[in-house]
Structure 1
Amino acid sequence: MTVDRERTRAAIVELIDAWGLAGDPRLERTADRVADASAELLAGEGVDPVPALREGRIPAADDDLVLVRNIRFSSICEHHLLPFDGWIHVAYLPGDWITGFGRIHDLVATCTARLALQERIGEQLVDALITGLDARGALAVVEARQDCVAARGPKQRDSDSVSVAARGTLVAGEARAEVFRLIALGAAEHGAEHGADDQREEML
């Protein structure tokens, strides 16, 4: 999908006018900035992440669990057009194929650079791993802080939300439990290194 920059700019000008702020010198370049940012923020719209995973497939030497933790992300809520951000943890049990870790980061970038819901991001990630890598199982944990909750409505700035999506052999069982154990371990280590509190580990 290609963002129409001029229409986006015109829409922001109209929005500023609708808010009663037309001519405000603080907002002189706001419409241009939003139009430019939109191309980056929505770069994943309409992009199928599966072909990139298939192109990056490597024959698997074994069928051991693969987990990529603490992938930072940001996205735009489709309900209020407000940002949300946090961490994503992605795990899969390979079949015949694995992929480079960079491809997993690219997968997350594609699935989050679009209008989204937190729960749907996880679903898209695990579906792509199952389809693109023929994985036996896939699981994604998405931890986020929602600006639509923090800045309006209940105004709960410290509230996190956690969603889990799983397919195949990671829907239940010992392998799934091991994923959560490793994610919690990583959260504890991450918190100790960066002086964060223990909320992330407790939520998992």
Structure 2
Amino acid sequence: MAVDRARIERLVRELLEAIGEDPDRPGLTQTPSRMAMLYDELFAGIGEDPGAHLARTISVSRGPAPGTLPSGAVLLRGVRFRSVCEHHLLPFAGVAHLAYLPGEQVVGLGSLVKVVETLAARPQVQERLGEQIADALDAHLDARGVLVVLDASHGCVTMRGGRQPDASTLTVAVRGEFTDPVARTELIALIGAGAPGSHEAGA
């Protein structure tokens, strides 16, 4: 479902008036249209199926490089993302670390990035975002285990309330074999070994 830009423009004008501003003064005349374009970008993932990005897999035994099944997990670190918290419509941004234990099928690494981007491009909370990414990978990949770690800085923490600019939030979602703490210990250690931090990502 497409974002209704014209309606957003009308509502932004009303919001500016509600806070005591003049939407027709210089500096604000283009703000409603800019906000409409911004919201179109920020919420492009609403209604989009993240699993569609995982439809094209590569057979390990029949693919271009047969016999190359990884003996361990595939780990993609430091995928930068940004989203909007559904509580205050303030941004949160950080990095995602994704791992899966492949079976017969593997997937292009860019497809993992697109799953993150799709699910982040909708009003979110970090806890649910991590679970949704894990669900998508678990449901659409031939994976024996899935691990998703998100490390993000939230505008509702850094810009309002306690105003803690250095605070970040870490969440973990696991499926399959990685529900065993021992099985995911090595991955957690690899993620922490020089992985880029969310506090550098900005909000």
Fold in common (TM above 0.5)? yes
| Counterparts of 2:151 and 2:15, CA distance in 1 | 31
Higher helix share: 1
1:89 aligns with 2:97: yes
From 67, 73, 77, the counterpart of 1:69: 77
- Which residue is equivalent to 1:200? none
SS at match of 2:179: coil
Q: Do the aligned partners of 2:106 and 2:142 also contact (CA within 8 Å) in 1? A: no
SS at match of 1:25: coil
| Counterparts of 1:67 and 1:10, CA distance in 2 | 45
Letter in 1 for 2:101: L
| Matched length | 189
Query: What CA deviation, in whole Å up to 9, does each residue of 1:121-160 have, x standing for no partner?
Result: 1101110011111311111100000001111111111111
Q: CA deviation at 1:178?
A: 1.2
1:2 aligns with 2:7: no
| Counterparts of 1:46 and 1:34, CA distance in 2 | 20
- Which residue is equivalent to 1:174? 182
| Counterparts of 1:166 and 1:46, CA distance in 2 | 24
- Which residue is equivalent to 1:51? 52
| Counterparts of 1:40 and 1:107, CA distance in 2 | 16
Ranges in structure 2 where 5+ consecutive residues have no aligned partner: 61-67
Query: What CA deviation, in whole Å up to 9, does each residue of 1:85-107 have, x standing for no partner?
Result: 01110001112211001101111
From 137, 144, 161, the counterpart of 2:169: 161
Q: CA deviation at 1:48?
A: 1.3
- Which residue is equivalent to 1:32? 33
With normalisation by structure 2, the TM-score equals: 0.88
| Counterparts of 1:186 and 1:2, CA distance in 2 | 40
Q: CA deviation at 1:111?
A: 1.1
Q: What percent identity do the matched residue pairs reach?
A: 45
- Which residue is equivalent to 1:127? 135
- Which residue is equivalent to 1:15? 15
Q: CA deviation at 1:62?
A: 2.1
With normalisation by structure 1, the TM-score equals: 0.88
Q: Which has the higher contact order (CA 8 A, sep 6+)?
A: 2
RMSD value, Cα = 1.5
Letter in 2 for 1:62: L
Q: Do the aligned partners of 1:69 and 1:186 also contact (CA within 8 Å) in 2? A: no
From 106, 113, 121, the counterpart of 1:113: 121
Q: Do the aligned partners of 2:75 and 2:98 also contact (CA within 8 Å) in 1? A: yes
